[in-house]
Chains A and B, each alone.
Chain A
Amino acid sequence: MTTIDNARPADGLRAGDARVTAPPSAGAKKLGGVVGWVDDRLGPAKGVNYLMKKVFPDHWSFMLGEIAMYSMIVCLLTGVFLTFWFVPSAGHTTYDGSYVPLQGVQMSEAYASSLRISFDIKGGLLIRQMHHWAALMFIVALSAHMLRVFFTGAFRKPRELNWVIGCILSMLALIEGFAGYSLPDDLLSGTGLRAAEGFMQSAPVIGSYLAFMVFDGPFPGEAIIPRLFSVHVLLLPAILIGLFTAHIVMVAVQKHTQFPGPGRTNNNVVGFPVMPVYAAKAGGFFFIVFGFLAVVAALVQINAIWVYGPYDPSPVTAGSQPDWYMGFADGALRLLPGWLEFHAFGYTLSLNVAIGALGLIPVMYGAMAAYPFIESWVTGDKREHHLLDRPRNQATRTGLGVAALTFYGVLMFAAANDIMAIKLHMSINDITYFFRAATFVLPVVAFWVTRRICLSLQRADRNLVLHGRETGRIVRTAEGKFFEAHEPLDEYTRWTLVQHDPQEPLQLTTGVDAHGVASPAGGKRNLRARLSRFYFQDNLLPVTPAELAAAHHDGHSTEHLEAIEAAEESYGEETAGITGRP
């Protein structure tokens, strides 16, 4: 264990400098070729050395953010290609390309150019499909990444700002995807735009103005396609690239978190250096993600716009859904009941639309972004955390996360209610009623179940440390009694199970001082303490060496094993608040 010194972080740059004991080699004095030319002018060698020696921990779940990043890069590359052939115009044209079923049909230039890319440009369909699959994978991976960060507590100090940036990135990615798949102006995405116009109209007071502003007049107008093109190709990619650069620079500056384990402390990073291992692994992973997306685009069709036909406000297709990442909002709209629209004094307040269409995303993302601050207020934890939590050790946080995920999942699956109806041969009305109830019931159930499971896992960890691993060898004593021999854990495996912090809830105050004067902050402090108890109650404490010694000292006779088990139960009852001994 090293002590934390007050050296500046940049001092670390000098740590690797060797004392010059021998004259530098000819190579060191004159770096070859291009590298030398650049170093003569900018002197980046020091910075590059620093970066090349940086250590990154090796866990598969840390690669989820990389999958997202690489998918976004694939989107950028394929997107540039698409802009060479796509025509972002709603102007009318008559199709005369090679796709027979649409020949002679009136459509927009945007749609006609998308058909041309799909049927008449070599590799066009491949690039279009890679672009769309990469967009889906981008949001899939960033969602999985966000869940990993949440459940392992990686958002705690000093990474709260990175979490907030991540939430913004996630929200912008949704809008970017929506804008992107609306560009080809096909029937399915156009129906989505029609619904979007309806959402805007439902905004109280400003609704009709907002809708006419965005669409430059009545729906659909000629402006929405070129405007979405600007947003999708210029505005949002710039913001996304800027934010995600900040996101990964912060990871580099703060160094990546790591899972607890032997040799890993809150003050170090254990892993592999960028040069050569991580350059090969991360660089290679980029090619793996890219190659995988190309293979999927070769084998699996996505967004067959020629089947939907050009957008027209009169036709519509059964099974109209947005892309998966907007599913939760679409599901909310299917579940919100109609009685939430109110008419009074000549005005209409459409809460049945506004809650799901306008309120849901800001509220959800706001709650998500605020969570690290809420948790740190509740727990009173102001330390820097670089070691991750095992989710089971934070039962309440994990439970809350699963409950939120369940709520999101119910809404998302509700958007597929008509697909479920035809595939599962059920009534769409029954499915909708079920989901309406599930929105409120399932998250509560999920919270409770998850929390109990985490506590059970904590108990199982304790037992594993105290009793060791079950070897499966049955031993018969001289008296004729049988027991299973347990092998104590080696210190490395044991460390992972005992290293977590025993967290204490904040103490309740009476709120009144010695003279009977109520403290102004007392109420808030008590709320905080109650929430803190909600967070930490029932959490089991890690095994201490003393407890382990006690378990070992008593040997393996069956009577004592039974006594130990009985003691465990009463210990468990005590922590649940029930007193009494067996």
Chain B
Amino acid sequence: MNALAARRRHPAAILFLLLLGLLITGSAYAAFAPKAATAAEATADQITLGKQLFASNCASCHGKNALGTEQGPNLAGVGAASVDFQVGTGRMPMAEPGVQAPRGKAVTFDDEKIAALAAYIASLAPGPAIPDAKYTSGEGGDPGKGGMIFRTNCSMCHNSAGAGGALTRGKYAPSLMGVDGKYIYEAMETGPQSMPVFNDNNISPESKNDVIAYLKAMNETGNPGGMALGSLGPVPEGLFAWVFGLGILVGAAYWLGQKGA
């Protein structure tokens, strides 16, 4: 038998096989995973596909022609941006009824299907379009200006660090950490659920890009002082002081008072 076969019972063989398996699977995924949708014109095919997808996944709550029912609002005029945001972040289709549609743990549809749904909804009535990539990457944006806009318009709901905050009756403003710039833009543009609308006349596309640049710069900064404790402010800090601070120092005091061995 050859050298490889002779070593098939080697302890490292399992490890090697696992790594090989991971490598193959990973490369295959990278090769075949759908590419990000470009802001291209909607084709008639897309709209047809979108209509089909809508009928089977969304119409039960949003009505046959997206005109709305008691469970879901009228979608005419919400624009492709809304669909891209809601479906792209996994909020829609809503997994279970509740006061708020939370960000999905997994996204139900791939990019092609999302684009189709967006094209269909956009075809019903004019509404906000999917933004141009040059305004959603944060490149060329001024984080200083973005920060001022963020603190005036956003931090009262989403918290200074973008860690999220409470609204009334169980609703909440979600965390912005790690969220793609495109979704930040679309959320501002369309005002999902409780969030108000910050249209392009209120916060211009350049300003929106500044905000995205600010969020990216905050992410870059990290947490220089150490563990951020969720970036929720004095409450976790006080909890830490009582539980770990007092706990460890009382432990030291107890050790100090015990008789030596």
Contact = CB atoms under 8 A, between A and B. Distances in A.
A364 interface: no
A438 B159 CA distance: 28
B167 to A, nearest CB: 8
B144 A63 contact: no
A321 B227 contact: no
B235 A60 contact: no
Interface centre among A101, A284, A417, A426 (most CB of B within 10 A): A101
B8 interface: no
Contacts of A324: 234-235, 237-239, 241-242
A425 B156 contact: no
A379 B217 CA distance: 65
A184 interface: no
A60 B256 contact: yes
A64 B168 contact: no
Interface centre among B155, B228, B242, B245 (most CB of A within 10 A): B245
B214 interface: yes
Contact of B159 (A319, A416, A430): A319
A312 B149 CA distance: 12
B249 interface: yes
Interface in B122-156: 142-148, 151-152, 155-156
A473 B216 CA distance: 69
Contacts of B164: 318, 422
Interface centre among A119, A284, A285, A318 (most CB of B within 10 A): A318
Interface stretch (A132-140, A262-270, A475-483): A132-140
Contacts of A284: 256
Interface centre among A58, A60, A327 (most CB of B within 10 A): A60
Contacts of A421: 166, 170, 172
Nearest to B239: A324
Interface string A300-317: 111110111100101111
B160 A309 contact: yes
B161 A304 contact: yes
B257 interface: yes
A195 to B, nearest CB: 14
B160 A125 contact: no
B160 A307 contact: yes
Interface string B191-229: 000000000000000000000001001101101111111
Given A281-B256, A318-B156, A419-B235, A426 B170 contact: yes
Interface in B174-190: none
B158 interface: yes
Given A105-B148, A289-B249, A416-B235, A318 B158 contact: yes
Given A60-B254, A63-B253, A299-B226, A316 B156 contact: yes
Contact of B257 (A58, A67, A133, A417): A58
B222 to A, nearest CB: 10
Nearest to B246: A140
A292 interface: yes
Given A422-B172, A426-B170, A301 B227 contact: yes
A417 B172 CA distance: 13
A100 interface: yes
A291 to B, nearest CB: 10
A316 B240 contact: no
B127 to A, nearest CB: 29
Contacts, number: 204
Nearest to B215: A101
A314 B152 contact: yes
A450 interface: no
Given A63-B257, A188-B160, A316-B156, A303 B151 contact: no
B227 to A, nearest CB: 5
Contacts of A144: 246, 250
Contact of A63 (B99, B228, B244, B256): B256
Interface centre among A104, A129, A422 (most CB of B within 10 A): A422
A421 B165 CA distance: 9
Interface residues of A, number: 73
Contacts of A322: 234
Contact of B241 (A129, A137, A306, A307): A137
A103 interface: yes
Contacts of B158: 318
A327 B166 contact: no
B26 interface: no
A302 B99 CA distance: 33
B233 interface: yes
A292 B238 contact: no
A421 B228 CA distance: 20
B160 A187 contact: yes
B225 A292 contact: no
B155 A136 contact: no
A509 interface: no
A298 interface: yes
Contacts of B166: 318-319, 417-419, 421-422, 428
Given A101-B143, A327-B238, A188 B233 contact: yes
A318 B159 contact: yes
A284 B257 CA distance: 12
Contacts of A312: 151-152
Contact of B245 (A118, A136, A317): A136
Interface in A22-43: none
A60 B170 contact: no
A518 interface: no
Contacts of B99: 427
A318 B155 contact: yes
B241 A136 contact: yes
Contacts of B242: 140, 324
A309 B145 CA distance: 12
A534 interface: no
A419 B232 contact: yes
A136 B238 CA distance: 7
A323 B99 CA distance: 31
B252 interface: yes
A103 B144 contact: yes
B257 A296 contact: no
Contacts of A471: none
Contacts of A321: 233-235
B75 interface: no
B157 interface: yes
Given A64-B250, A422-B164, A125 B225 contact: yes
Among all A-B residue pairs, the 5 with the closest Cβ atoms: A318-B165, A324-B238, A301-B225, A63-B253, A427-B170
15 contacts: A63-B256, A66-B253, A136-B238, A188-B234, A292-B245, A292-B248, A300-B227, A304-B225, A306-B221, A307-B161, A309-B160, A317-B233, A415-B235, A419-B232, A427-B99
Interface of B: 99, 142-148, 151-152, 155-161, 163-170, 172-173, 214, 217-218, 220-221, 223-229, 231-242, 244-246, 248-250, 252-254, 256-257
Given A133-B245, A324-B235, 19 more contacts: A60-B256, A64-B250, A101-B147, A119-B224, A136-B237, A140-B246, A187-B151, A187-B155, A281-B256, A285-B252, A303-B237, A309-B151, A315-B152, A319-B159, A319-B235, A417-B166, A421-B166, A422-B172, A427-B169
